[in-house]
Structure 1
Amino acid sequence: MLPVAEVDWDQYDAALFDLDGVVTPTAEVHMRAWAAMFNDFLAGVQGQPPYTDQDYYDYVDGKPRYDGVRTFLLARGITLPEGDPSDPPEAETVAGLGNRKNEYFNRVLTEQGVQAYPGSVRLLDVLRERGLPMAIVSSSRNAPAVLDAAGVTDYFGTVMHGGVAAERRLAGKPAPDTFLAAAADLGATAERAVVLEDAISGVQAGAAGDFALVVGVDRGAGPAALTEAGADVVVADLAELLPDDQEEVVE
């Protein structure tokens, strides 16, 4: 694994950030929304144990919403109709459950708001000062609302979220397609771009795309799991990636 001190931002033409858990702590909001939705659903399915945080990391984290529903149900041996994205949240379909989860998420975001991680903002400030193009690559269709709520939209030259990926028919993480497309939108190639991800599926996407550097941000998945998934560097906070002349104490 590459030592953090050796990360030289001058070697790269673009930085591609996941949003939830990397720039903002909304991964926790997503976790609570998924848990509430799945446990409500499982209460009506005989013989099913409750949904756990480990289920989130194993089956849901970093994936497009309906893929997360589909993967979890498959792991539990539960079969539901696929449904349609227009399904109401009450529908007992893959799409309906995904839409139900989104209602939980939007409720929490509206009521509690969100602030970006201070260490992440420090790195964003430094990279913007250096003129490095940056993108958000998020599976969540809520990414624009989260960026706006956190006040960090202006850092990013492009926002590749789940809705854009669907419109462009790009496969979601762990496929590298959304990262590759975002890099191209910024005029960069994978060989000169950095991926920053906290989810196993996102790290796998960065590794699959042969990006120059894949940074794993440990917000709960664990350094070993992120490294096994393909991370070249694992940090607990993006402030650890500040250049030597910009380092500050992380509180």
Structure 2
Amino acid sequence: MPHAVVFDTDGVLLDSAVVHAAAWKTAFDAFLAEVREARGTPGPPDADGTRGTEGAPGARGTGEPGTSTAPPPAFPPASPPAPPDLAPFDEDADYRRHVDGKSRFDGAEAFLTARGIRLPPGHPDDPPGHDTVWAVAARKEAAFQDALAAAPLAAFPDAAEALTHLHALRIPCAAVSASRHARELLRATGLTPLLATVVDGVDTARLGLPGKPDPALFLHAAGLLGTGPGDAAVVEDALAGVRAGHRGGFRLVVGVDRTPDGRGAAVLRAEGADRVVPDLMTLVRSVWGEIR
């Protein structure tokens, strides 16, 4: 039985993953629309399923579809690089696959790379825009800040109960996050007093810790709890986080799948989760039991 627990924050303790996903969609879709406009590429289908004619392949020279009067090349041309995928960001599949659990820069870079788009890294101080990876990440940050201003985040109902239960059992707990907002959000939701330590994006930048799926963040948190991975559990909802816990050699790696139909359980197990639970109290009762 593990004697310490390292919890991911977004999507495990705080009901914030959907807000992060929406902010990423705002940033990426604006960027992708700008790329489509610059390339003369049609956007996503309209309500009637059409895409319009801009940028569509058509007649050249003869007026017949797909024909051309250009002479054939003397030698077969080299295959051109595949065009970038400019479809809108999917708040479920793309979020889980590319950005969930990662820092803003790592998430932006991972998604853009997956879509075949290369941008210069830029600088952390770049304003929101589309010219650098940091600029795209800054656009996400602005959208997230707007969402927080419109409606405060809440903790999951089972988060305080699970942390209180573990606190009573003298099981020290840490909360970790790649987000720079985690510490303030945990404080705002009242969870901080139930945690022995918090490691957020500010700490990872200060310490130079690599992001998930590297286990450095979890290992650092376990060290702050006074233990090593062999005597600690990691609780995650992100694929990158589960992978990090597995690579770090933690005694127990738990995936949290809060989807109503449990559709995420199989992929969490495939990434290295020892068990998958629908909520935190199911985990606490099954591993540590009831308070005596």
| TM-score higher than 0.5 | yes
In structure 2, the residue matched to 1:228 is 270
1:218 aligns with 2:257: yes
Aligned residue among 49, 55, 71 for 2:87: 49
**CA distance, structure 2, for counterparts of residue 62 and residue 90 of structure 1:** 23
Q: What SS is found at the alignment partner of 1:211?
A: coil
1:19 aligns with 2:9: yes
Mapping of residues 37-116 of structure 1, within 5 Å:
37-46=27-36, 47=41, 48-53=86-91, 54-90=93-129, 92-116=131-155
Mapping of residues 118-133 of structure 1, within 5 Å:
118-133=157-172
In structure 1, the residue matched to 2:248 is 209
| Structure exhibiting the larger radius of gyration computed from Cα positions | 2
In structure 1, the residue matched to 2:55 is none
Single out whichever of 83-92 and 174-183 deviates more from structure 2. Answer: 83-92
In structure 2, the residue matched to 1:5 is none
Question: Deviations for 1:185-213, whole angstroms, at most 9, x for unmatched residues?
Answer: 11111000010000000000000001000
Single out whichever of 118-127 and 237-246 deviates more from structure 2. Answer: 237-246
* Contact persistence 2:163–2:195 (CA under 8 A): no
Q: What SS is found at the alignment partner of 1:159?
A: strand
**CA distance, structure 2, for counterparts of residue 152 and residue 110 of structure 1:** 20
Cα offset, 1:92, TM superposition = 2.1
| Higher relative contact order (Cα pairs below 8 Å, separated by 6+ residues) | 1
* Contact persistence 2:214–2:244 (CA under 8 A): yes
> Match for 2:197: what amino acid?
T
Question: Deviations for 1:205-228, whole angstroms, at most 9, x for unmatched residues?
Answer: 000001000110013570000000
Q: What SS is found at the alignment partner of 1:214?
A: strand
**CA distance, structure 2, for counterparts of residue 138 and residue 80 of structure 1:** 25
> Match for 1:245: what amino acid?
E
In structure 2, the residue matched to 1:8 is none
In structure 2, the residue matched to 1:32 is 22
> Match for 2:6: what amino acid?
L
Q: Give unpaired runs (5+ residues) of structure 1.
A: 1-10, 247-251
Q: What SS is found at the alignment partner of 1:242?
A: helix
**CA distance, structure 2, for counterparts of residue 219 and residue 96 of structure 1:** 32
Q: What SS is found at the alignment partner of 2:35?
A: coil
**CA distance, structure 1, for counterparts of residue 244 and residue 204 of structure 2:** 14
In structure 2, the residue matched to 1:170 is 209
Single out whichever of 207-216 and 101-110 deviates more from structure 2. Answer: 101-110
- After the TM superposition, list the runs of 4 or more consecutive aligned residues in structure 1 that deviate by more than 3 angstroms: none
Aligned in 2, Cα 1:50/1:141: closer, same or farther, shift over 3 Å? Answer: same
Q: What SS is found at the alignment partner of 1:183?
A: helix
**CA distance, structure 2, for counterparts of residue 151 and residue 109 of structure 1:** 16
Q: What SS is found at the alignment partner of 2:202?
A: helix
In structure 1, the residue matched to 2:59 is none
In structure 2, the residue matched to 1:237 is 279
Identity of aligned residues (%): 44
Q: Give unpaired runs (5+ residues) of structure 2.
A: 42-85
**CA distance, structure 2, for counterparts of residue 119 and residue 179 of structure 1:** 22
* Contact persistence 2:8–2:176 (CA under 8 A): yes
